[in-house]
Amino acid sequence: MNKIAIICVDDDPAILSSLEMEIKTIFGNSYLIELAENGDDAIELCTELLAESIEIALVISDYIMPKMTGDKLLTHIHKLSPKTVKIMLTGQANIDSIGQAIRYANLYRYISKPWKTDDFRLTVKEAVNSYLLELKINEHADKLEKTNISLIKLNQDKNEFLGIAAHDLKNPLSAIKGWAEMIVEDYDDMPKSEVIEISNLILNSSRQMFELIRNLLDVNAIESGNMNSELSKVDILPTVEDVIRHHSERAKIKNIILQFHQKNNQYNAFVDKNTVHQILDNLISNAVKYSPYGKHIDICICKSEKMICCEIKDEGQGLSELDQKKLFKKFTRLTPKPTGHEHSNGLGLFIVKKLVEAMHGNVWCKSEIGKGTSFFVEFPLFNSQVI
């Protein structure tokens, strides 16, 4: 909470001194106590305090003062700080002036001069408590509003999530249904080769559905905080080699060559082995998916004092600045499309980023239109792990 001030305004120095003593008796040094001898000084004081983000809980002002009466002063202060509680000291005030203060300054109380000590202290204490209570109510209301906005956003995200998921599942499911019906209806007239071909189409569509469902489950686990990674000392070199070997076979279909570059025979990281495999599998799979036929993909691994870095560089069309800003977000649809009619559900890089961050690593991208794309992923070295 910001500092809180109480301002006393009176053209009689003796009364100002008495007001200061009374307030210190009530609150001690809990609040700033500021004094002003006229309306102009009080307005200037309020303006300075508010500019310094000091909240003004209470203003106690005399009514009869040179140049500016108390009701006009409190009305002006109300415009500057509507939540400030206002009390007017009334030695000679009339009903009309009090009514003006109530109407235009939201006057809390008026106290007759000379005041009774017990009544004065009780009124001032209640006034400040009223201000503090209003602050708490407003803070609670702000939190509720932020929570409500967050819930609305979550509901919108959920609806978008379900809509996209349903759409992406519907297409392969419809294809599976159609091809299965074709086999059922025409099996007797179909050669074995055609049955095998259609069965492979069904298999590919089911794999597409499985990948989407797995990604949806991963997203749910990540966002609900249930993604468990057991970090330990892992030589990630065999994992990198295994992922490259797997995708080299797939890349041959597009006449793409995967080239691996390394300087050391061991790269010990503080990671979860299965999670590293999932991350690299996604990044290398994307490189193959978006590379044109007949190109090269370079995978490099190196280490610094604290991190092990893997770079996956392709010779694709590259990413625009706009596309790069959208990377690592859920259901991102980028301008480049898979070059071999492969499927993409827009969840892979979102999952990669979350998994990398869970292991205290980093992932980023460098790309230029017409010059390909490089993805970099860093894992902590075993001897510099974050615990």
φ, ψ of residue 378 in degrees (nearest 5)? -115, 140
**pLDDT tier at 326, thresholds 50, 70, 90:** confident
Q: What is the arithmetic mean of pLDDT over 289-313?
A: 93
Residue 93 pLDDT > 60: no
**Are 248 and 208 in the same domain?**
no
Q: What is the arithmetic mean of pLDDT over 104-129?
A: 88
Rounded CA gap, 87 and 89, in Å? Answer: 7
**Counted domains in the chain:** 3
**Are 161 and 183 in the same domain?**
yes
Determine the pLDDT at residue 333. Answer: 72
Looking at the chain, the number of H-run helices and the number of E-run strands are: 10, 12
The answer to the question of residue 363 being in a domain is yes
Q: Which strands form 85-90's sheet, in the order they lie side by side?
A: 32-36, 4-9, 55-62, 85-90, 109-112
Rounded CA gap, 259 and 255, in Å? Answer: 13
**pLDDT tier at 344, thresholds 50, 70, 90:** low
Residue 181 pLDDT > 80: yes
The answer to the question of residue 71 being in a domain is yes
Of 373, 267, 365, which is closest to residue 318 (Cα–Cα)? 373
Rounded CA gap, 287 and 314, in Å? Answer: 6
Residue 386 pLDDT > 60: no
**Are 244 and 304 in the same domain?**
yes
**Are 374 and 266 in the same domain?**
yes
* CB-based contact 238:279 (threshold 8 Å): no
* CB-based contact 317:338 (threshold 8 Å): no
**Are 361 and 298 in the same domain?**
yes
The answer to the question of residue 73 being in a domain is yes
Residue 83 pLDDT > 80: yes
The answer to the question of residue 125 being in a domain is no
Determine the pLDDT at residue 255. Answer: 93
Note the pLDDT tens digit of each residue in 193-214.
888 888 988 887 887 778 777 7
**Are 285 and 199 in the same domain?**
no
Q: What is the arithmetic mean of pLDDT over 21-25?
A: 94
**Are 210 and 249 in the same domain?**
no
Rounded CA gap, 314 and 317, in Å? Answer: 9
Residue that is last in its domain, among 223, 250, 282:
223
Rounded CA gap, 87 and 107, in Å? Answer: 6
* CB-based contact 6:23 (threshold 8 Å): yes
What share of the chain in percent tops pLDDT 70?
90
**Are 174 and 82 in the same domain?**
no
The answer to the question of residue 142 being in a domain is no
**pLDDT tier at 87, thresholds 50, 70, 90:** very high
Residue 170 pLDDT > 80: no
> Which of the two residues, 221 and 297, has the higher pLDDT score?
297
**pLDDT tier at 385, thresholds 50, 70, 90:** very low
Determine the pLDDT at residue 345. Answer: 60
**Are 33 and 166 in the same domain?**
no
* CB-based contact 373:314 (threshold 8 Å): yes
**Are 111 and 23 in the same domain?**
yes
The answer to the question of residue 123 being in a domain is no
Determine the pLDDT at residue 276. Answer: 92
Kindly report the CATH number assigned to the domain that includes residue 258. Answer: 3.30.565.10
**Are 9 and 62 in the same domain?**
yes
The amino acid at residue 294 is G
**Residue 340, Cα to own-chain centre: how many angstroms?**
36
- Residue 334's domain comprises 232-384
The answer to the question of residue 133 being in a domain is no
Buried b (16+ CB within 10 A) or exposed e, 22-48: bbeebbeeebebbbbbbbeebbebbee
